[in-house]
Structure 1
Amino acid sequence: MTLPHNPDADPDPTTQMTWPSSRRNASGSHIIKSNYPGGAIESPQAERGPLRLDPTVSGIKPLAIPPSKKSLTTKDLIFLSISMAGAQIAWTVELGYGTPFLLSLGVSEQLTSLVWLAGPISGLIAQPLIGAISDSSTSKYRRRYWIVSSTAVLVFSTLTLAYCKELSTFLVDLFGGGQGDWDPKRSDYISDTAIGLAIASFYLLDFALNALQASLRNLLLDITPAGQLNAGNAWHSRMTQAGNIIGYGFGFFPLADIPVLRWIGGSQFRKFCIIVLVVLIITVWITCWTQEEQERPNKQAGSSQLRKILGNIRAAILKLPTPIRKVCAVQVFAFMGWFPFLFYATTYIGQAMAREKNAEPDAEYATRMGAFSMLLNSVVAAAAGALLPYLSRRDTRLLRVQDEDEEEETIRLRNMIHEWRVDAAKKGKKMRLPNLPVLYRTIWIGALLLFTVLTMLTFFVQSTIGAIVLVSLVGISWAVACWVPFAIIMEFLKEMEEIVEPTSPAQTRANTRIHSRAHSRAHSRAHSRTQTGSASFANFGLASERQPLLSHATASLETYEESLLGPVDRNRPVAGGTVLGIHNLAIVFPQFLVSLAASLIFNIVDGSQQDDETTYYGRNGVAWVLRFGGFCTLFGAIVARSLPLTKTEEEMRYILDELTTLSKEDTQP
């Protein structure tokens, strides 16, 4: 059976929600168009116009209904997300070249793990602070301002890294360090200055990248309609993987062979930095030029800007909804595994080469092979990022239709079952009900367990090729890490926004009718529920995946809010940027612990080689750091089992339960 095409639906195949629309018939009643067999349904919701909630219903105050966000085309989503590719290419400067570059300057392996505290420190400060500042702004440039500012800082810090040795030489000569080229002290001054400039530049780069990526995610949350958030996050993930492919691809390719880059001079690292800056500037310009933000009314006039910002952060932390809090708990353990891998994967390849050859490999070649392994990792992640969202793709037959009451829903579901039976009978087969898509948390748990298994395989992998394959396969888990957590959080944030500011009259009517529909459902189907042993779901609350959905006749919008999202302040806009910043705290905070643990592991495993001049030979500390990270992600998978389902997932389970019950009723004599 072919379902009718909805012209108003999202064109991107990874969208999670349908976009039913309505038109009026000659009598003024609504004709609801939806993706189900049986055609349109005439609704008695005639001539209502914008609905204002009755203050007597569940204590909800009347709210002005803001204009709904326009549906985005695939082209719009690409332009909105393309800057994430540029930002990720800039990340590869640090992830792919950072550790080898610092080692080449003379920084010890133990000290590099402390240098990379720049990541958690910048994430701890930059993302929540910038999210709160931009949330409090009413300007239509509130997100793009920080995108452009962060890009400017990125340009400065990357150029400093590219010309680090030349700048250190200039500064030493400027301030009279040493007596001349023959003076050994001058060389020491230049080396120490270069190390200082490199570390400071990496800190600046980390702060700027955290600010840039936070602002890009906030822009996505602001502009994208609720039904297209999965598509938007999927495109962000794809662009992230594309950025990795481009970044590590350029890092692996011998750039000195390109004639146009020869005039730049210097090493492969310098040429790579210049390419990164060009791509970053172009992608940021595309996003900022093509996207348009809306001005927001100032609802909190009278308080100081600083007090408002700090108040937003404090309120968001204290009132963080339970689902988002649990996502953060999983991220704590997940990034205790991701942090070592992202910064030391290229070094792991170099150490594998040294073990295989039983000698110190060429540093430049080892770095390029490390970049090659991360290039393959990015290709695998891009493929996984393109395919995995289809596992969670929402079956339109299991989605609710807006502005549909109890009787209309029952008619629609019965018509669907009838047509499925007819189609199955024609083919001589038994009718099969649709299956639920794979849940977000299931995909996430699988990715975390895969990461644990792959890191434990480092005990057995001894060859360079084996190490490259292992690093490549981790791309599957990384694709999920770039997509699922943000998709879960943004869905819950959109649910909170719909509670505070309904996006349309239809949404408002749907919310206010939850109580009445639950009540009527409980009475009309109580007898059949008892006979079939199934249970319905009306309050969108939490339920075990293996248990039937339970019906509560007194369920209401408030029940859902209080049990899952917690109390929602209807007079205060949802601070999405602040919440995403707090989520980032859960990502960066454990990195402090991992940095200290990595430094301790390096000291224990490679302490005897501390004074050697070798970079890779005789060292195995990175492999033990990766194993430690894999052990942490195992705990993350255990915590992820308690993640609640999103509202859409709960609704789909409810519809499937209804279909199961109706199909059994229709087969009874």
Structure 2
Amino acid sequence: MSEDSPLLSPSGEGEHEGLIDAQAVLADDPQDDQWQETKSLAYMMLLTLSIGGLQLAWAVELSNGTPYLLSLGMSKSLMALVWIAGPLSGALVQPYVGILSDNCKSPWGKRTPFMVVGSIATVVSLMCLAWVREVVGGLLGLFGADRTSEGVKVTIIVVAVFFVYILDFSINTVQAGIRAFILDCCPSHQQEAANSMASRVVGIGNIIGYVAGYSDLPKYIWWFGYTQFQILCAIASIALSTTVLISIIFIRERDPRLEGPSPKGKKGIIGFFKTVASSIKHLPPQTRKVCEVQFFAWIGYFPQLFYSSSYIGDIYVQPYLIKNPNMTPEEIDTLYEMATRMGTFALLIYAITSLATNVLLPFFVAPSYDAEYEASIHSKSDNTTWLSRFMEKLVIPWLTLRRAWLCSHLIFAGCMFSTLWVRSIGGATALIGIVGISWALTLWAPFAIISAEVSKRDKLRRQRNIQAMSDPDSDTEHAVFEKEDQAGVILGIHNMAIATPQILATIGSSIIFKFLQKPRGVPGDRSYSVVLAAGGISTLIAAWLTSRIQDEVPLPTPAEEHFRPATREERRSLNQERNFVRSHSYTSLGY
């Protein structure tokens, strides 16, 4: 490279002569200044708005999917095979989409095409699932089939299962795109703020979903459909489409064509698994620790998400079953319907607590991953307003984001262990409500820690690529860096660390239910409490692993950078990219 480049150490200084100084690049990067400028609150809201619409779609599937499929005549044993689609798609689809989007060279950006295509597929699968009985029954009826026949019912169930899998794959595609979109379009020093805002939007989406599910929608907005599920799917489709459209219109991504050539590698399934295996092996240090925490944390969180309402409902029905053990099937159905409403109310309290935590807690948490930037700002100017001084006084110096996350694991474990002896509706509802605090940190802390590290490393990578392409005198043959994974694949691997333990938790829960669950309508069932408490044990392990994470994001030092000679194909590709860079420049965002 050119000796005059500001990215290089002065000749002869230090044993790593010619290597990029990470701190210098982060402090002085004129080509990337506009992307590192502090963004406004409006920008953050527009950036994260799409994840709220996505969460509403998730809420509809999780809260109403099981009753809807059962209403089609599906058995509970088949239900387990259906809902395992979520963890499977999370473990496979998100890393695959991450790899594809990292290498995408679309002029609209890396993530936008996947957000758009995934949203369209989600809307189509939601509406097809909601109307599957009418559509399949109507089509088969044209050929003379009886809609009430067993063959038509089986066909409807098969088609419904197909669209459930399509829905899960589509939602994970959108989620992979949105999470990477937020990371890419947010400055390094505002990653904590962006992920905090995202968790608030998710909380709002959850509350809207629970309130809508609790309301009698056919009575008020009957024009969207005949059933509750049809109307919910219509609302979720409109919300997802609108929020994604707003985000991609007002928030523009970088032009990925300016970042250099995509790495060459094997395509197909084998290439995908080799890429994932290599990426796991070379994960950044903080991200690796976060993934370890998430693996054990989600063994506990997954049962809590699925069985909290059933735990509340079980407590509600026990006194009635003991008092009247000879209820008719109709009386039992009525009793459990009321129990379901009690469980839904507890989840609403849970969602409200989570949102309140996401809104209030950031004012008290010391910005550990933004600390370097904040310090540089304060050193440049002493002009502060009374509001900023007041906000600074609210910060608890020892309460870093990592420590708050650690405390949330302990709170979660304590609540799960308490389910073994809390047997009142009020007490159980309070426990689930308190767990909302832990859920808020789960939506915020891991993404903020990973985003802070990946964003800073991406900044270094972009600067290296741009310098290599824009400098006609750069010696690419002796200055090519080893491949670094970008946001998409890293966030995909992080989602694997979330999805894989869900499969283990499902198997473990099934074993516990096999030995402890009693038939519906029989008093004395305590299986839900045991499943929840077992999840608390794994969360204690997650708390210990969280204590090993650093409060500051370590940047790669020159000694950690890896060089290798460029291949002939890479040199040719870099020369082509130089021609593009000379004729294009980044455009301002306007925020």
Q: CA deviation at 1:148?
A: 0.9
CA contact (8 A) 1:109 1:602 kept: no
1:4-43 alignment runs, 5 A limit: none
| Structure 1 residues 597 and 324, CA gap change in structure 2 (3 angstroms) | same
Measure, in 1, the Cα distance between the counterparts of 2:38 and 2:168: 34
2:278 corresponds to which residue? 315
Measure, in 1, the Cα distance between the counterparts of 2:125 and 2:337: 23
Measure, in 1, the Cα distance between the counterparts of 2:69 and 2:241: 26
Q: CA deviation at 1:635?
A: 1.7
- Deviation track 1:103-145 (CA, whole Å, cap 9, x = no partner) reads 4444444543443211111011111111111101122332011
CA contact (8 A) 1:323 1:643 kept: yes
1:74 corresponds to which residue? 41
Supply the AA of the counterpart residue of 1:275. Answer: I
Q: CA RMSD in A?
A: 3.6
1:144 corresponds to which residue? 112
Supply the AA of the counterpart residue of 1:322. Answer: P
Measure, in 1, the Cα distance between the counterparts of 2:140 and 2:32: 60
2:429 corresponds to which residue? 468
Q: CA deviation at 1:477?
A: 0.6
CA contact (8 A) 1:337 1:629 kept: yes
CA contact (8 A) 1:241 1:379 kept: yes
1:278-289 alignment runs, 5 A limit: 278-289=238-249
Stretch of structure 1 that moved more, 190-199 or 158-167: 190-199
1:623 aligns with 2:583: no
Measure, in 2, the Cα distance between the counterparts of 1:144 and 1:342: 30
2:174 corresponds to which residue? 212
Counterpart among 434, 442, 446 of residue 481 in structure 1: 442
CA contact (8 A) 1:377 1:472 kept: yes
Q: CA deviation at 1:176?
A: 5.5
Counterpart among 531, 548, 551 of residue 642 in structure 1: 548
Structure 1 unaligned runs (5+)?
1-47, 416-431, 504-567, 650-669
1:376 corresponds to which residue? 349
1:537 corresponds to which residue? none
2:293 corresponds to which residue? 330
Supply the AA of the counterpart residue of 1:239. Answer: V
1:340 aligns with 2:313: no
CA contact (8 A) 1:99 1:112 kept: yes
CA contact (8 A) 2:368 2:552 kept: no
1:268 corresponds to which residue? 228
Measure, in 2, the Cα distance between the counterparts of 1:571 and 1:95: 42
Stretch of structure 1 that moved more, 123-132 or 459-468: 459-468
2:196 corresponds to which residue? 234
Supply the AA of the counterpart residue of 1:266. Answer: Y
2:560 corresponds to which residue? none
2:264 corresponds to which residue? 303
1:510 corresponds to which residue? none
Q: CA deviation at 1:486?
A: 0.7
Measure, in 1, the Cα distance between the counterparts of 2:319 and 2:255: 60
CA contact (8 A) 2:218 2:226 kept: no
Measure, in 1, the Cα distance between the counterparts of 2:492 and 2:287: 12
Supply the AA of the counterpart residue of 2:458. Answer: E
Q: CA deviation at 1:323?
A: 2.0
1:36 corresponds to which residue? none
Structure 2 unaligned runs (5+)?
322-326, 383-392, 465-478, 556-591
- Deviation track 1:411-438 (CA, whole Å, cap 9, x = no partner) reads x9xx9xxxxxxxxxxxxxxxx9x97341
- Deviation track 1:463-504 (CA, whole Å, cap 9, x = no partner) reads 33433332222111100000001111111113323444559x
Q: TM-score, normalised by structure 1?
A: 0.68
Counterpart among 221, 244, 264 of residue 206 in structure 2: 244
CA contact (8 A) 1:241 1:381 kept: yes
CA contact (8 A) 2:8 2:18 kept: no
Q: Answer with 1 or 2: which has the greater Rg.
A: 1
2:476 corresponds to which residue? none
1:438 corresponds to which residue? 399
Measure, in 1, the Cα distance between the counterparts of 2:526 and 2:139: 37
Q: CA deviation at 1:632?
A: 1.7
2:127 corresponds to which residue? 159
Counterpart among 356, 363, 367 of residue 390 in structure 1: 363
Measure, in 2, the Cα distance between the counterparts of 1:623 and 1:174: 50
Counterpart among 5, 9, 12 of residue 53 in structure 1: 9
CA contact (8 A) 1:113 1:599 kept: no
1:106-117 alignment runs, 5 A limit: 106-117=73-84
2:470 corresponds to which residue? none
CA contact (8 A) 1:128 1:313 kept: yes
Q: CA deviation at 1:620?
A: 4.3
1:16 corresponds to which residue? none
2:516 corresponds to which residue? 605
CA contact (8 A) 1:111 1:599 kept: no
CA contact (8 A) 2:366 2:400 kept: no
| Structure 1 residues 621 and 154, CA gap change in structure 2 (3 angstroms) | farther
CA contact (8 A) 2:259 2:462 kept: no
CA contact (8 A) 1:127 1:214 kept: yes
- Deviation track 1:179-207 (CA, whole Å, cap 9, x = no partner) reads x46xxxx4433443343333332222221
- Report SS of the residue matched to 2:111: helix
- Report SS of the residue matched to 1:471: helix
Supply the AA of the counterpart residue of 2:455. Answer: K
| Structure 1 residues 175 and 450, CA gap change in structure 2 (3 angstroms) | farther
- Report SS of the residue matched to 2:10: coil
CA contact (8 A) 1:356 1:464 kept: no
1:587 corresponds to which residue? 498
1:188 corresponds to which residue? 150
Supply the AA of the counterpart residue of 2:188. Answer: A
- Deviation track 1:484-535 (CA, whole Å, cap 9, x = no partner) reads 01111111113323444559xxxxxxxxxxxxxxxxxxxxxxxxxxxxxxxx
Q: CA deviation at 1:172?
A: 4.7
1:530 corresponds to which residue? none
Q: CA deviation at 1:244?
A: 0.3
Percent identity reads 32
Q: CA deviation at 1:572?
A: 3.9
- Deviation track 1:143-198 (CA, whole Å, cap 9, x = no partner) reads 01111111111112211232233234335535665xx46xxxx4433443343333
CA contact (8 A) 1:248 1:375 kept: yes
Q: CA deviation at 1:582?
A: 0.6
1:452 corresponds to which residue? 413
- Report SS of the residue matched to 2:490: helix
- Report SS of the residue matched to 2:500: helix
Measure, in 2, the Cα distance between the counterparts of 1:597 and 1:401: 45
Q: TM-score, normalised by structure 2?
A: 0.76
CA contact (8 A) 1:345 1:471 kept: yes
CA contact (8 A) 1:55 1:62 kept: no
- Report SS of the residue matched to 1:102: helix
Supply the AA of the counterpart residue of 1:151. Answer: S
Measure, in 2, the Cα distance between the counterparts of 1:351 and 1:187: 35
| Structure 1 residues 175 and 354, CA gap change in structure 2 (3 angstroms) | farther
Measure, in 2, the Cα distance between the counterparts of 1:78 and 1:572: 33
Measure, in 2, the Cα distance between the counterparts of 1:50 and 1:402: 23
| Structure 1 residues 457 and 196, CA gap change in structure 2 (3 angstroms) | farther
**Number of residues of Structure 1 aligned to a counterpart in Structure 2:** 504
| Structure 1 residues 398 and 83, CA gap change in structure 2 (3 angstroms) | closer
1:95 aligns with 2:95: no
Q: CA deviation at 1:62?
A: 6.0
| Structure 1 residues 251 and 498, CA gap change in structure 2 (3 angstroms) | same
Measure, in 2, the Cα distance between the counterparts of 1:457 and 1:338: 15
1:120 aligns with 2:120: no
CA contact (8 A) 2:51 2:198 kept: yes
- Report SS of the residue matched to 2:365: coil
Measure, in 1, the Cα distance between the counterparts of 2:369 and 2:247: 31
CA contact (8 A) 2:115 2:244 kept: yes
Measure, in 2, the Cα distance between the counterparts of 1:337 and 1:396: 27
2:389 corresponds to which residue? none
- Report SS of the residue matched to 1:436: strand
1:134 corresponds to which residue? 101
Supply the AA of the counterpart residue of 2:247. Answer: T
Measure, in 2, the Cα distance between the counterparts of 1:644 and 1:487: 13
Supply the AA of the counterpart residue of 2:343. Answer: G
Specify which structure has the higher proportion of helix.
Answer: 2
